[in-house]
Structure 1
Amino acid sequence: MSHENFQKWLDEVMSKIIKNLGMDVGNARYKLFDCTGIFIASIVYRIRLQFENKTNRQNEELSIILKRPMPGLNQINRTDFQFHNEILFYRMFTRPDEIYAKCFYVEEQPPLGYVIALENVNKRGYYACSCAYDPPMEYTLAAMRELGRFHGKGYVMKQLQPDKFFDIVEQIQEVRYTKRFTDNIYKFACNIKALRAVEYLRSQGHDEIFCNKMEAFLSNAFDKVMIKTVEPLEPLATLCHGDFTISNILFNTEDNGQYRPMLIDFALIRYSTPVVDLSTYLYLCCSNEIRRNKFYHDALKEYLLDAGIQDVEKYSYDALLDDFRRGAVFGFILMSIFVPILLGHIDSELLVREIKNFGPLESVNRQRYIGGDEISKMLADALLHLRDLDCLKHVL
C-alpha cells in the first residue's frame, strides 16, 4: 500500500472510530506513531486521539491500538478467519465490567476489509512480560490463575446461557486444524518440525525402540495429535483462548506486588478442552521444572463456586489431569514449531517474507533446524519429560 493510499485508508478508519465514540466527541484529531510491529497475521499501529468532550468541555485523549490484516497471507494463514474470531470475541463474549481492553470499533468486510480498534492498555499500567520464554514464576502463577478464570467464565455461560454460548461456538472459524485448506502450512509444520526431537535423540544414541515409535507417531502429528486434541470432549469442553502464551498476556503490578493479568489476541479462540491452553503455555513458555502445579485448578474451582455452580466434581483435578495427559503432546508440537521464533532465532518479518516467497512447504523446510543443537536438545528433553509424565502411554 502506497503512502497516499495508506493515509486515505487511515483517515477513513479514524473517521469511523470517532463517529462510533458518540455525539460528545468534538474537534477530534489524531496522531499516528510508528508501527508497533508486523506480526504473522496482522500489522499493528499505535495512535493517539485527542478531542473535546462536549459534555464537560474538557480536552481528552485516547490511546488506541489499531490492527489490520497482513497483506498477502490470507490463503496461507487465514487472516480473515483470525480477525473474524477476535471480533466475535469482543462482540459477544466480553462484558464491560471485565478486565479486557475496551473495543472502540470493529469492521468486518470479507475477504480482507477487517479492522479492530482497541484501547492501548499501557495507559492502565498493563505491559508485556519481558521474557518470551521461561518467565519468572510469579508471571506463570498469575497466568494460570487467569486461565482458570477464563475457562470458568466459559463453563458458567455454557451452563447458565447455553443458547448464547453455543451461538458463539457455531460462529467460530477454524484457522489451523482442518483438512479443508490445501497447502495448510500448519500441517506441514506439525509433521516436519515435530520429528526434530526424535532425530536429535537418534543422533545421541537414544533407545531405538522409543525413537521408532515416536517417529511413526509424530510423522503424522497433524492428524494424530492436533486435530484429535482440539475436538471438544464433554464435560470439560469450554471456550479456550487457543494461543495462550506469555506474549498474549499483559500484566499490571499491583500495590501488593502481585501481577494482575489481562488476556489479549483472541484470533484462535475455539471450543475445546483445557489441555489446549494449558499445554500451549507450559510447553511454549516454560521449562520442564515448571510443568507441574495446581494453581490453574484452584482458580477454576473458585470462579465456578463464586458464580453459583455447585456441580464442580466433573471439573475435578483428576479429570483435568487426565485431560492433560491425553493431550499434552499438543503443546510439544507447538513448541517444536514456535520456540525457535520465541527465542529470537528468526524474527516475524523474515518469517513472513519466507512464507510469501517460498510458499508453505518450502518455507517450513528452510526453517526446520533453526537454532541448531540448542533448540534440538530442548525439544528432545521436553519429549522425554512427556514420557516421564505418562503422557505418551498411548504411543508407547
Structure 2
Amino acid sequence: MSYESVQRWIDEMMPKIIENLELDIHKAQYELLESTGNFMSNIYCIRLKFENKTNRQKEELSMILKRPMLAFNQIARIDLQFRNEILFYQMYAQPDNYAKCFYVEERPPIDSIIALENVNGQGYYSCPYKYYPPVEYTLAAMRELGRFHGKGYVMKEMQREKFFDITTQIQEVRFTNTTENIYKFACNIKTLRVVEYLRSQDHDAIFCDKMEALFSNAYEEVMIKTIQPVEPLATLCHGDFTLDNILFKTKNDNGQHLSILIDFALIRYSTPVIDLSTYLLLCCSNEIRKEKFFDFIQAYYDSLKEYLLNTGVQDIEKYSYNALLSDFKRGALFGFVVMCVFTPIILGYLSPEVLIQEMLDFGPLEGTKKQRYVGGDKVSKILVDALLYLKDLGCLKHVL
C-alpha cells in the first residue's frame, strides 16, 4: 500500500477519532510517526497535538491505528478477527488493565479500524527477548493471565447475562470445518514429525503408535476437544496468549515486572489450559519449563485468587489450585500442538513472509506439507523433549 493511500485513509479516519475522544479539542494536528505490521494487521503510530479548550493547555496524545492486512485475509479470516477485537473493546475491556480504545469501526474486508492508546507512554513495551524469556517475564505474564481469567469468572457470576451475550457473539476463526482450513492442516501434519523422530531414536513402539494415532488427527482429537468449555472453569480466554501479545513494564515498587495483554482477535469461551499451555509450551524453553513449571502455575493461581477475593467472589473452591492443575493436565497437549506449529517460526527457521507466500503459491495443504520438517532434527528434538516432559508430568495419561 502506497504512502499516499495510507495517508488518505488516515486523513479519513482521524476526524472521526478526534470527535469520539470526548475532549474539547481545538487546532488539532496529527502526524504518522511509524508504519509497521504483521501478516494480520497494518499498524500506524500517530501523534495527535491539540489545544484543550477546557484548560487552555497544549496537549499530545499517542495512539495506534490497526487496519486489516489484505493479502492473508481470506485464509486467516482477518475480518472476523477484527470483529472479535472490536467486540472485546466495546463490551468487555473497560475499565481494567488494557489500552484505552478511542474508536472502532467495522468495515470489512480491509477498512475496519481500531484506534488504541499507545501504552508505550505508560512504560509498556514488547519483551526484549523474541523467545524463551527470563523467568521474571513469564511470572509477570502468569500474574496478568490470572487476573484476565479472573475477570471472566467475576463477570460470569455477577453479570451472567452480559457475559454470555459477549461470548455468544465471538466469531470462530481457527477451529472451523472449512475444507481449506490452514490451521487444521498444520495441526495434523506438523505434529507427526515428533513421532517420526521418536521412531528414529528407537523409542518405545507402543508409545509411538499411540502418539501417531492421536497426532494424525490432532486437530479433532486434541484441539477441538480441548477448546470445549468445561464448567465451572470455563472463562473468557485470550486464545493467542504468546509473548507477542504481551507488553511488559520494568519493575514496580515490589521489584516485579508488570504486564499488559494486547491483541484479542482470538478470544474464546474455554478453560484456562488453552492459554496456559500455549504460553508455557511455546514461549518457555524446555529447561525453564521443567525447572519452574510449578512456580509459574502458582503465580497464576495466586493472582487469580487475589483478583476473585478482591472483587467479592467468596466461593472460590471451584477455582482451586488442584482443579486448575487437573485442567492443565487434561488439555496440555493443546499447547504442545501449538508448539509444533509455531516453534519453527519463533526460532527463525521459517519467516511469516515465506509461510504466507507458500500458502498462496501452493495452497494450504501442499504449503503445509512443504514446511513439515523446517528446522530439522534440532526442532524435532525440542518438540520431543517437551512431549516427554508432559508424559512425566501426567498430561498424557488419558491418551495412553
Question: 3-state DSSP class of the match of 2:131?
Answer: coil
Deviation (angstroms), 1:2: 4.0
Q: Is the 8 A contact 1:240 1:270 kept in 2?
A: yes
CA deviation map 1:138-171 (0-9, x unaligned): 1111111111111111001000000110000011
Question: 3-state DSSP class of the match of 1:48?
Answer: strand
Equivalent in the alignment of 2:266: 268
Q: Is the 8 A contact 1:132 1:285 kept in 2?
A: no
Larger deviation, residues 150-159 vs 386-395: 386-395
Equivalent in the alignment of 1:146: 144
**Residues in 1 aligned to 2:2 and 2:258: alpha-carbon distance in whole angstroms:** 41
Q: Does 1:247 align with 2:249?
A: no
* Consecutive unaligned residues in structure 1, runs of 5 or more: none
Equivalent in the alignment of 2:125: 127
CA deviation map 1:304-361 (0-9, x unaligned): 1111111111111111111111100000000001111111222223333333333211
Question: 3-state DSSP class of the match of 1:118?
Answer: strand
Amino acid at match of 1:70: M
Q: Is the 8 A contact 2:349 2:374 kept in 1?
A: yes
Q: What is the aligned length?
A: 393
Q: Report 1:54-93 matches (<5 A).
A: 54-93=53-92
Larger deviation, residues 5-14 vs 332-341: 5-14
Q: Is the 8 A contact 1:192 1:365 kept in 2?
A: yes
CA deviation map 1:162-203 (0-9, x unaligned): 011000001101111121x22000000000001111111111
Q: Does 1:29 align with 2:29?
A: yes
Q: Does 1:214 align with 2:214?
A: no
Q: Is the 8 A contact 2:23 2:52 kept in 1?
A: no
Equivalent in the alignment of 2:311: 307
**Residues in 2 aligned to 1:124 and 1:353: alpha-carbon distance in whole angstroms:** 37
Amino acid at match of 1:211: C
Aligned with 1:200 (options 183, 192, 197): 197
**Residues in 2 aligned to 1:129 and 1:303: alpha-carbon distance in whole angstroms:** 25
* Consecutive unaligned residues in structure 2, runs of 5 or more: none
Equivalent in the alignment of 1:370: 374
Question: 3-state DSSP class of the match of 1:104?
Answer: strand
**Residues in 1 aligned to 2:261 and 2:85: alpha-carbon distance in whole angstroms:** 12
Equivalent in the alignment of 1:51: 50
Q: Describe the shift of the 1:16–1:360 C-alpha distance in structure 2 as closer, same or farther (beyond 3 A).
A: same
Deviation (angstroms), 1:23: 5.2
Q: Describe the shift of the 1:223–1:22 C-alpha distance in structure 2 as closer, same or farther (beyond 3 A).
A: same
Amino acid at match of 1:88: L
The 4+ residue runs of structure 1 with deviation greater than 6 A are none
**Residues in 1 aligned to 2:77 and 2:179: alpha-carbon distance in whole angstroms:** 12
**Residues in 2 aligned to 1:95 and 1:7: alpha-carbon distance in whole angstroms:** 30
Q: Is the 8 A contact 1:41 1:70 kept in 2?
A: yes
Equivalent in the alignment of 2:355: 351
**Residues in 2 aligned to 1:23 and 1:238: alpha-carbon distance in whole angstroms:** 35
Amino acid at match of 1:19: E
Question: 3-state DSSP class of the match of 2:106?
Answer: strand
Q: Report 1:326-345 matches (<5 A).
A: 326-345=330-349
Q: Percent identity?
A: 67
Tell me the C-alpha RMSD between the 2 structures: 1.5
Amino acid at match of 1:277: D
Deviation (angstroms), 1:205: 1.6
**Residues in 1 aligned to 2:258 and 2:374: alpha-carbon distance in whole angstroms:** 35
TM-score (norm 1): 0.96
Amino acid at match of 2:61: L
Equivalent in the alignment of 2:153: 155
Larger deviation, residues 339-348 vs 375-384: 339-348
Q: Does 1:233 align with 2:235?
A: no
**Residues in 2 aligned to 1:64 and 1:349: alpha-carbon distance in whole angstroms:** 26
Equivalent in the alignment of 2:104: 106
Deviation (angstroms), 1:373: 1.5
Question: 3-state DSSP class of the match of 2:276?
Answer: helix
Question: 3-state DSSP class of the match of 2:86?
Answer: helix
TM-score (norm 2): 0.95
